[in-house]
Amino acid sequence: MTARPRRPTLTSPARIGPLAALPLFHKLEGRRIVLAGGGDGAAWKAELLAAAGAHVEVHADVIGDAMQDVADRDHPGKVELSGRPWSPEDLRGAALAIADVEGDAEAEAFRRAAQAARVPVNIVDKPAFCDFQFGSIVNRSPLVIGISTDGAAPVFGQAIRARIEALLPNGLKAWAEAAKAWRPFVQERELPFRMRRGFWERFTDRALAKPDAVPTDADRDDLLAALERIEQEGQSPVGSAVFVGAGPGDPELLTLKAVRALQSADVVLFDDLVDPRILDLARREAERIGVGKRGHRPSCKQDEITDLIVRLGLAGKRVVRLKGGDPAVFGRLTEELEACHAAGVPTEVVPGITAAFGAAAAMGVSLTERSAARRLQFVTAHSQDGSLPQDLDWKALADPRAATVVYMGVRTAPALVERLLAEGLPPSFPALLVERATTEQQAVRACSIADLPAAIATDPPSGPCLIILGAPAAQYVALASAG
């Protein structure tokens, strides 16, 4: 039965949800900040504020070693120690008021004084008294990332910061500084908006491709010259098509390169099986177009999808074709690449974890085994008309020394099993049916190959499935039996 056609469907990105606090970035250069407290917590706040160029007045009758050390060092701003407790008069005209105090009574007094002076207030480790909070910071200044847990779990915020630190090369600091230095130069050129955006898009591509290279004025001039050549020749800048593997289901299995591609995309064409949480990683302004194809269900035509990729690329769009699993494994990648090459649209392929590898990892089994599975073979059991392909290498598939992973084989399983048994595969040969691999809804059923059609008929899967035959299935059964 042929599935009904459907058209590519434009979907809207998820709207922003409720915010516990609005992240803002204060310009504090030369601004006066009142800080009450001389302990270690106050010392870190003083150092942070002075790093942003603030003039920090520290009021405390007891100054700890850490605070004294901060005051003695050079900063973009300055730290002054008054040697006395704070007073309400100190708060008049201040940009911010911060206190590191022990009891709630003093915290409340400081808050009331700050509010009377109309100065935003923060009390260290007392979120109930705060107008604003300090988050964890990733510092590649002028590239700065702030992380907040709304005061609930600072240690958790610090752990998130550490993860982001690991993802951001230190060299991005130099690129951010270059962007700041070059912006006036680009603005003075009075370029049309399209060219200005094109410059910064190409700048970003270069920075992310070579984050540890030191940007020079030659980079700036090269980027501008390329755009001006396009403008003078009356050409529309050609975009690109990036074919990205979305992995088997779990968003955490997405590669870093895939995330970068999504975050720079103008348009994302995605399969039905892509987890919505992966789509949320695309930049908010990107168009999201569903181009799903599901066996025996309403599906977009492949020719229509291919044509859409090419048209968008020729229109100057950065297109991400987001495919479940790995784009090079039963993903119709070749025809989409060939169409782009013929039209002159630059392409890139970002691999993903194919469902077989994800399923094996999620089950805790190996797909190969020295004594039992020296060959691993992938096969699709779904031809263009939906039937079992007849030109498969049946001798290889019936080899009990191989591990076989069958993609798209649920509907053709009866015919597949019949043929494998006819080729001599033992009826007791172990089989697994793995549904929604790597997700929270993953379900695994073990049986013999002879019983596989009945297992499917008794409880038909509702999600994407793999059939795994051979040693991996035997491993899974042995592990399950061992508890």
Is residue 205 annotated as part of the catalytic site, yes or no?
no
The residues that bridge with 30 in the sheet, in sequence order, are none
Is residue 271 annotated as part of the catalytic site, yes or no?
yes
Q: Which tokens go with 105?
A: 């009574």
Q: Which helix (H) or strand (E) holds 139?
A: strand 136-140
**Length of the chain in residues, anyone?**
483
d(CA 389, CA 381): 6
The residues that bridge with 347 in the sheet, in sequence order, are 241
* Active-site residue (options: 271, 275, 326, 399): 271
The torsion angles phi and psi of 313, rounded to 5 degrees, stand at: -65, -45
d(CA 203, CA 179): 8
The distance from CA 361 to its chain's CA centroid, rounded to whole angstroms, is 21
* Active-site residue (options: 272, 293, 307, 451): 293
What are the DSSP E strand ranges found in 218-337? 240-245, 267-270, 287-290, 299-300, 318-323
What does each C-alpha distance from 176 to 144, 173, 179, 200 come to in angstroms?
10, 5, 5, 11
Residue pair 97/123 in contact (Cβ under 8 Å)? The answer is no
d(CA 177, CA 220): 13
d(CA 471, CA 272): 31
Residue pair 313/259 in contact (Cβ under 8 Å)? The answer is no
What does each C-alpha distance from 309 to 86, 213, 288 come to in angstroms?
64, 32, 13
What does each C-alpha distance from 415 to 340, 387, 422 come to in angstroms?
37, 9, 11
Phi-psi domain of 38 (left: phi exceeds 0; alpha: psi -120 through 50; beta: other): alpha
Task: List, in order, residues 6 or more apart from 167 with CB less than 8 Å away.
Answer: 256
Q: Which of 320, 261, 266, 330 is nearest to 295 (CA)?
A: 330
Which residue type is seen at 313? G
Q: Which of 380, 331, 383, 391 is nearest to 2 (CA)?
A: 383
9-11 β-sheet, strand order: 9-11, 287-290, 267-270, 318-323, 240-245, 347-350
d(CA 111, CA 440): 46
Q: Are strands 55-59 and 32-36 parallel, antiparallel or unpaired?
A: parallel
Task: List, in order, residues 6 or more apart from 192 with CB less than 8 Å away.
Answer: none
Question: What residues are labeled active site?
Answer: 271, 293
